[in-house]
Amino acid sequence: MGFTVLIPARLASTRLPNKPLADIAGIPMVVRVAQRMAALSNASGLERVVVAADSPQIMAACQLHAVQAVLTRTDHISGSDRLAEACDVLALPDDAIVVNVQGDEPLIDPQLVREVADLLQKTPLASMSTAAHTIHSIADFHNPNVVKVVLDAQAMALYFSRAPIPYPRDPHNSLPNPAPLRHVGIYAYRAGFLREFPKLTQAPLERTESLEQLRALWHGYRIAVHVSEHAPGPGVDTPEDLERVRLLIATEGKPVSQ
């Protein structure tokens, strides 16, 4: 069974207006993300890459660059709600695998997308899959903006938190053992679950931590976690992030000077 990559794209952004259309080396950011995903071969299982847009401007940018896109409502509360509507527009069957790739991740590794999709396909007990990587910095471990995840013996998520977890009983100035894991915000879903997810009541833990994935755990759904060896490339949330990514893409593939 193959998988579909869906890229939610919302024009409104408080920190970076019109973020999906931000120019990166002459190409709108959301288009660049879609093109990066399309680099996956058919042999990887990729069936299609579709932008789930909320505005005619994003639709026009995608059309100009031959990227498939569907127009969704502007009033969705979250990206998962937008993707659920896109599943209906595309008439995806309930057992279809859908990978949510954020439109502000122009440096995301396509291989990571494939690995998250593969994990869900081979884990029938899971309704979702996601990714994580080892934390090597004490500062990151204690940073509430770095979301942590702890796993069970089957590499299923036990909990996600902004707090430093697992927290050692006798704290000291070093990382715990086993090494903590940083959650990477990429998700694969079964389309049927994605359609049901927005209907689930919001979990108290979700409101406390401001982490939507806790809703799935609260209601008893399982989340499989792929542990990657490498951290993903930086995303874009602010103008400073955008300039950093522009520089990285401008130098991508160029030899490092000695």
- Residue 254 in this model has a pLDDT that exceeds 80: no
Span 25-56, pLDDT tens digits: 999 999 999 999 988 866 678 999 999 999 99
- In CATH terms, 3-230 corresponds, of 3.50.50.60, 3.60.10.10, 3.90.550.10, 3.30.70.80, to 3.90.550.10
Span 170-211, pLDDT tens digits: 777 788 888 999 999 999 999 999 999 989 999 999 999 999
What residues does 159 pair with on adjacent strands?
150
Domain spans in the chain, listed from the N-terminal domain onward: 3-230
Phi-psi region of 222 (alpha: psi -120 to 50; beta: other; left: phi over 0): beta
Output the pTM of the full model: 0.90
Tell me what pLDDT residue 242 has. 92
Q: Work out the pLDDT band at 256, boundaries 50, 70, 90.
A: very low
